Amino acid sequence: MTPQLADQTELASNFTVADYKTARSTQDRATIAEALHRRFTERYIDPVTPAPGKEMHGFTIMAISCLMIESLESFVQGWENSSSKSEAAFCYFFDSRPQFSIFRGHFARFYKNVRCGILHQAETTGGWKITRKKNAPLFDAAPASLTINATLFLENLVAVLDGFRDNLKIVEWNSTEWKNVRKKMKALCDNCQP
């Protein structure tokens, strides 16, 4: 693949590597923020948002949510990749997002029993459970329960994503937030090269 072909790679619908380079050169924060939001929505949120009359399995919602947390935190932290940083991603995520404050103090067990359990064993471990019951809390931390409401988890994840986009639109181009996003975007664009 030539660099010209790599520039045609879509990072989100209607947003290519070339589009990113143009937006970066003009410091078009709104365009990049919206494209990132679209990327996350298309890749992570839409696939687990049920269509009318169709329910999504809580396990699938949590599997996709774990992928999204790690990816989103890579943009927030400015990591080129999350290799050897996965557990830290969950620590940072749960410690800094008020929507997930109930998980503070539980991130290591969440990481091991939910994220790693799903990724490596295709199941939660350590007695952790997933539900979609409408009246269930986001997280029941009682040792006999350890139950996550996948529906509420996804709703809160959408709120975090919306906040990420909205913040990028208002912070300065040379802020830490944008420096980190640009560092991750550079790695993302580099990965489109042969």
Tokens of 147: 């139950």
Q: For every one of its 194 residues, what pLDDT tens digit does the chain have, with 9 covering 90 and above?
A: 556 778 999 999 999 999 999 999 999 999 999 999 999 999 999 999 988 888 889 999 999 999 999 999 999 999 999 999 999 999 999 999 999 999 999 999 999 999 999 999 999 999 999 999 989 999 999 999 999 999 999 999 999 999 999 999 999 999 999 999 999 999 999 999 88
- Distance CA(140)–CA(136), nearest Å, equals 8
Question: In the beta sheet, which residues pair with residue 149?
Answer: 131
All residues at 6 or more sequence positions from 45 whose CB lies less than 8 Å from its CB, including other chains: 68, 154, 157, 158, 161
All residues at 6 or more sequence positions from 65 whose CB lies less than 8 Å from its CB, including other chains: 44, 48, 150, 153, 154, 157
> How many Cβ atoms sit within 10 Å of the Cβ of residue 42?
13
- Produce one character per residue of 103-137: b if its CB has 16 or more CB atoms within 10 Å, e if not: beebbebbbbbbbbbbeeeeebeeebebbbeeebe
Is the CB of residue 149 less than 8 Å from the CB of residue 136?
yes
Tokens of 63: 């599997």
Is the CB of residue 49 less than 8 Å from the CB of residue 56?
yes
The per-residue pLDDT for 140 is 97
The per-residue pLDDT for 194 is 83
The per-residue pLDDT for 139 is 97
Tokens of 176: 């830490």
Tokens of 154: 């996804």
- Judge if pTM exceeds 0.75: yes
The per-residue pLDDT for 3 is 60
The per-residue pLDDT for 6 is 86
- Distance CA(157)–CA(150), nearest Å, equals 10
